[in-house]
Amino acid sequence: MNCRCQGAPSDLSLLAPVLSEYAAVPGSLITILQKAQEIYGYLPVDVMYHIAEQTGTTPARVMGVATFYTQFRFQPVGKYLIMLCDGTACHVNGSARIADAVQEYLHVENGGTTGDGLFSFSIVACLGCCSLSPVMMINEDTYGSLTPAKVLDILKEIRAKEGAL
């Protein structure tokens, strides 16, 4: 199967253990895609073609499943993935002001990554932390009861830690 992919090809050998465990298991496509994203940080096109080939399905099916679920990414993300909740509780409690503060400080739009590759920003439907609203996650860390000032302090602290003031 030939793939006209941009950029350097992915190291498909990294996916071999996942495919040897799940390729023949019916209904395992989502699991394979999740594990591929854990390995590569996102789902490169050549990886999705390889998954199709190894599982005996079509690239259209693999891409159809991957694009249906919002958990999957198709571009590399920054070192720090910011997910801002915009569920009902967060929305009512000011998530739009938090989004504005993040976007203004980082100069990044929803779904984008900063020019230095340090941050990616995504507004999500719900993080399931309603009692902490408004809430965001940065990688595995959860930050709640946010204000624009508190968000700026968090982001400035990360930038300082990374030496990227």
- Annotated domain spans of the chain: 12-68, 80-162
Under the banding of pLDDT at 50, 70 and 90, the label for residue 69 is confident
Specify the pLDDT at position 165: 57
Beta-carbon contacts of residue 49 (< 8 Å; ≥ 6 apart):
1, 3, 5, 59, 62
Specify the pLDDT at position 2: 45
d(CA 152, CA 165): 13
Token pair in block for residue 59: 């690239």
Under the banding of pLDDT at 50, 70 and 90, the label for residue 163 is confident
Beta-carbon contacts of residue 91 (< 8 Å; ≥ 6 apart):
none
Specify the pLDDT at position 57: 96
Q: Tell me the CATH number for domain 12-68.
A: 1.10.10
Under the banding of pLDDT at 50, 70 and 90, the label for residue 1 is very low
Q: What is the pTM of this model?
A: 0.69
Specify the pLDDT at position 5: 52
Each residue's pLDDT tens digit, 6-39:
567 999 999 999 999 999 999 999 999 999 999 9
Over range 84-101, report the average pLDDT: 97
SS3 76: coil
In the chain, pLDDT over 70 holds for what percent of residues? Answer: 95
Listed in sequence order, the DSSP H helices in 23-58 are 29-40, 45-55
Residue 3 pLDDT exceeds 70: no
Under the banding of pLDDT at 50, 70 and 90, the label for residue 4 is very low
Q: Tell me the CATH number for domain 80-162.
A: 3.40.30.10
